[in-house]
Amino acid sequence: MMSNTVLVISGLVAGPLLGGLINGLDRIITARLQSRIGPPVLQPFYDVIKLLGKEKMVVNVWQAFCAYCYIAAASISLVMFFLRSDLLLILFIQAVGAVFLVIGALSSTSPFSQVGAHRELLQILSYEPLLVLVTVGVYLETGSFKIATVYAWSEPLLLKLPFLYLVLGYALTIKLRKSPFDLSTSHHAHQELVKGLLTDYSGPFLALTEIGHWFEIVLLLGFCSLFWATNWVGMMILVAVTYFLEILIDNVSARMNWRWMLGYVWAMGLSLSLVNLIWLYAG
């Protein structure tokens, strides 16, 4: 009971702290790749605190409701991850947050929000089956959906699930809102639909969505870390290399449209998953 409480609290604390730091590092590395200097590492925290201190302004009180539900779902899914619970369940809880974000955006009549929300739905459509299939791969290899089993496994999952890790990479790129999949909303000033999904959020509610996003980043990187769970150093290297590749891909790609995203991600994702799953099944 005591250790569970500790895990819950560390989950709730790690999300914003780690997420914010990773976000800060992301911005610095992106800047350096663009021959700029970039902001200080603590910049995301300044952003969020500034937003929390702004005047409350809404288009619709639903935005407040949906922003809170989003951050609640994101934090609960990270806490469940820390508690080493069932991966499939964690996926579904995280999906709750994503859906509430979409509903909140749809509750505003601005076309920017509406189109952004639909693009977000298409993004969810693209990555959710793939995440389920990766989880199924973990099950076929370890015999269980529980994270506790993965930590007790003697060899790194990456050896048996290499293609599924690539598939996880697709889902990660979409979830982190990196080009070429940053259709619905994206970081910094990549405006196409103004800010897409998040156009009509402002002040404290925007801060909540940002912190919720940080929880999701930590959750997904945690998911990546499961693929080399036998050794701390290996885990760090895997996560760092993966995240750096994401930043690199973000900087060299242009934003594509939803038709290409859906077609490409499903085609590549399903084929790679099927090959890996058949290997696991036959083995």
Residues 165-184 close enough to bind another protein by CB under 8 A = none
Handedness of CA 186, 122, 146, 3 (dihedral sign): positive
Cβ closer to another protein: 89 or 248? 89
DSSP state of 34: T
Q: Which range in 93-101, 152-160, 216-224, 226-234 contacts another protein by CB under 8 A?
A: 93-101
The SS3 call for residue 86 is: strand
Instruction: Report CA 124 to chain centroid distance, whole Å.
Output: 11
What is the spatial distance between Cα 63 and Cα 67, in angstroms, rounded to a whole number?
6
Q: Does 3 bind another protein (CB under 8 A)?
A: no
Q: Residue 87 is encoded by which pair of tokens?
A: 């991966």
**Shortest approach of another protein to residue 225 CB, angstroms?**
20
Cβ closer to another protein: 254 or 282? 282
Q: What is the largest CA-CA distance in the chain?
A: 59
Closest CA to 227 of 109, 143, 99, 141: 141
Q: Does 93 bind another protein (CB under 8 A)?
A: yes
**Shortest approach of another protein to residue 77 CB, angstroms?**
10
- Do 17 and 87 contact (CB within 8 A), yes or no? no
**Shortest approach of another protein to residue 222 CB, angstroms?**
18
Q: Does 203 bind another protein (CB under 8 A)?
A: yes
Site for another protein in 119-148 (CB under 8 A): 121-122, 124-125, 128-129, 132-133, 136, 139-140, 143-146
Cβ closer to another protein: 104 or 235? 104
What's the burial of 23, exposed, middle or buried (CB within 10 Å: 0-12/13-18/19+)?
Answer: buried
Task: Give a three-class secondary structure readout of 141-201.
Answer: HHCCCEHHHHHCCCCCHHHHCHHHHHHHHHHHHHHCCCCCCCCCCCCCCCCCCCCHHHCCC
Q: Does 36 bind another protein (CB under 8 A)?
A: yes
Find tokens 């693209």 and name the residue. 126
Q: What x/- string results for residues 204 through 243 when contact with another protein is judged by CB under 8 A?
A: --x-------------------------------------
Q: At residue 273, what are phi and psi to the nearest 5 degrees?
A: -65, -45
**Shortest approach of another protein to residue 239 CB, angstroms?**
25
Cβ closer to another protein: 17 or 64? 64
Q: Which range in 11-19, 81-89, 226-234, 245-253 contacts another protein by CB under 8 A?
A: 81-89
**Shortest approach of another protein to residue 23 CB, angstroms?**
13
Site for another protein in 45-64 (CB under 8 A): 45-47, 49-50, 52-64
Find tokens 């509750």 and name the residue. 107
**Shortest approach of another protein to residue 111 CB, angstroms?**
4
